[in-house]
């Protein structure tokens, strides 16, 4: 399963909720079936979704009051991984990057454990071979080759980056 959004709070009196979108825009959510709210595995059907001020507004079938919407606070909207559309050329899902080996000059330096975004380029969280953690900018000048078949990212790191 993959997380599409995290419900933050109810919105209005008709059962709508506000959610943090993760990487998904509202227009892409309506194509998913097999949606569940986790934890708990409650199956839901998305009636409507729209973007609003950097967040999502979601309306689920059968959730028709503020009280019912309140019960969803903090839950994650999830969908089966296999329903995910392919990433556009040159783009990648963080879940696909996680587990990739990071290699510099033919030597494995670590493994991607996740990613974070702080407004600039995405930063890959990499567990280094010596046990330390490093943040590597996910840019074409640093991540020079990405082979998703081999789960390998070849990097050309600026001097001293791993010493930070």
Domain range annotation of the chain: 2-83, 94-157
| Residue 163: per-residue pLDDT | 82
The C-alpha atoms of residue 76 and residue 101 are separated, in whole angstroms, by: 29
| Residue 84: per-residue pLDDT | 77
| Residue 85: per-residue pLDDT | 76
Superfamily of domain 94-157: PRC-barrel domain (2.30.30.240)
Class of domain 2-83: mainly beta
| Residue 78: per-residue pLDDT | 92
| Residue 130: per-residue pLDDT | 92
| Residue 34: per-residue pLDDT | 86
| Residue 47: per-residue pLDDT | 93
Strand 46-52 relative to strand 123-128: parallel, antiparallel, unpaired? unpaired
| Residue 17: per-residue pLDDT | 97
Residues in the chain predicted with pLDDT less than 50, given as ranges, are none
| Residue 71: per-residue pLDDT | 95
């Amino acid at each position: 399963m993959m997380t599409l959004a995290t419900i933050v709070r109810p919105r209005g009196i008709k059962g709508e909720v506000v959610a943090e979108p993760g990487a998904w825009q509202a227009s892409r959510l309506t194509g998913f079936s097999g949606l569940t709210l986790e934890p708990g595995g409650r199956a839901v059907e998305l009636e409507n979704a729209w973007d609003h001020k950097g967040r999502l507004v979601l309306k689920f079938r059968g959730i028709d009051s503020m009280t019912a919407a309140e019960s969803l606070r903090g839950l994650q909207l999830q969908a089966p991984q296999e329903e995910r559309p392919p990433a556009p050329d040159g783009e990648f899902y963080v879940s696909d990057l996680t587990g990739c080996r990071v290699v510099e000059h033919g030597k494995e330096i670590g493994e991607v454990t996740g990613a974070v975004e702080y407004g600039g380029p995405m930063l890959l969280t990499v567990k280094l071979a010596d046990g330390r953690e490093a943040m590597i900018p996910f840019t074409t000048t640093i991540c020079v080759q990405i082979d998703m078949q081999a789960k390998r990212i070849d990097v050309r790191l600026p001097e001293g980056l791993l010493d930070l």
